[in-house]
Amino acid sequence: MTQTGNLTTGKVPAVLLRFFFPMLLTNLLQQIYTFADTVIVGKGLGDDALAAVGNMSVLILLVIGFLQGIANGFSVIIAQCCGSENHTALRQSVAASIKLSAFLAALLTVLSITTLKTALLALRTSEQILHDSLLYGCIIFGGIIITMSYNLCSCILRALGDSKTPFLAIVVSSTLNILLDSLFIFVLHTGVEGAAIATVFSQAVSTLICILRIHRSESLSLTSDDFKGSLRLSPVLLKNGIPMAFMNSVTAAGCIIAQSYVNTLGVEYTSAYSVCNRYINLFMLPSLTAGFAVSTFTSQNFGARKYLRIRECVRTGLIIGLFSYALCGTAMICLPEALAGLMLNGPQSIALASEFLRICGSMLFTLNALFIFRSALQGMGKPMIPMCSGILEMVLRVLIIVLLLPRIAFQAAAYAEIAAWTGALALNLAAYIIIVRRI
């Protein structure tokens, strides 16, 4: 087999866990340097600067989430080619992915920068944080080509069964990012632009490490013929990548609308909401990573027509999600004040964030299970169902926050998250049961 790691043989739990743990460490480190940005900005520049960076997070999720969805969708096809041992299709799929990703990254760079101020105003961004949000956003969006390059390269490596190289890349990148953050903000006394520059530069370093590893891979020695032959595979890649990208963007759109409603309550609420989102992104990592592992595992075994291994893989993923809930959900329920106080300074913001974390922590396993079933469907080449669940997730999130915000204020944002997770899980679970019974 052409991939670095063969996921179609061996005991399923052992194979999945060996693939999962380097990915988990990779994603944890990514969150750590995102977390470090938040802590350094909050403690070094104050709650207003933190609100400005946090306010941009939903727009970044919209754009970067789209590119991540594209890369993940492409990687499913690449992994299926590995599972079926179709070497020609593998190289052509990679070549087509490179061309399509470059075009989409360039297009989104232009669109995101030119529409950023309009988007921030639509978010009802407070005037006191508008300038910093614009500055931070322009730098981050100016590096979209770097972000896309890293996502594509890491997805290609994981599709081939290599989860260790992306981990090495993030170890270097995270360390560099934290050092640069501290240098820019505490030594050079820059504003939020220092944190943005540190993020883009660090990601460029991680991209270079992944590119060098791909370049050394014999199975990915691309020729001009591969790029010429890739044209016929472009529709196949887009058919799988666009729904996954759309799912991410629709989910992000729901978060943007929720953010706009929260922003009307005041800067303290914006700060609290941004910190809560940081913690949810951190505590969902084990199950999110398990979902990525399940997707790649499912793709390879689906290509190899080893369907029983897929069911066992999903069961293992759910067990990971259960352990994650026991650890992370407990922290959110029992230690919300300590968590909120780590990044926030104002007592009102800390109190708001604490209540949000306590409510969402009680239902975190719903989100964990969602990642597993959704990823299994994507790995089996069924991206339309997760896309529809993303639409449902957006509708429920917006509906709950619109209905409840006038009645229970900031708590509505927490209940909106729970409703979105539960509705999306129900749809993906039902679809998974039906499809698995058929095959």
Spans of the chain below 50 pLDDT = 1-3
Is residue 185 within 8 Å of 40, Cβ to Cβ? yes
Judged by DSSP in three states, 11 sits in coil
Tens of pLDDT, residue by residue over 305-314, are: 888 898 999 9
Report the C-alpha gap between 130 and 158 in whole angstroms: 38
pLDDT of residue 383: 84
pLDDT at residue 90 in the model? 77
Q: What is the DSSP letter of 124?
A: T
Both tokens assigned to 229: 């032959």
CA distances from 313 to 11, 203, 233, 293, 375 (A): 10, 31, 28, 9, 11
- Model confidence pTM above 0.85: no
Using the Cα atoms of residue 282, residue 288, residue 293 and residue 296 in order, give the sign of their dihedral.
negative
Q: How far apart are CA 248 and CA 270, in angstroms?
A: 22
The four Cα atoms 127, 128, 131, 133 give a dihedral, to 10 degrees, of -90
> What is the sign of the dihedral through the CA atoms of 37, 40, 46 and 47?
positive
Backbone angle region of 221, left / alpha / beta, with phi > 0 → left and psi within -120 to 50 → alpha: beta
Nearest Cα residue to 273 out of 38, 125, 49, 51? 51
Contact indicator for 212, 81 with CB cutoff of 8 Å: no
d(CA 40, CA 185): 8
Q: What is the pLDDT of residue 170?
A: 83
pLDDT at res. 32 = 72
Half-sphere exposure of 71 (CA within 13 A, CB side): 23
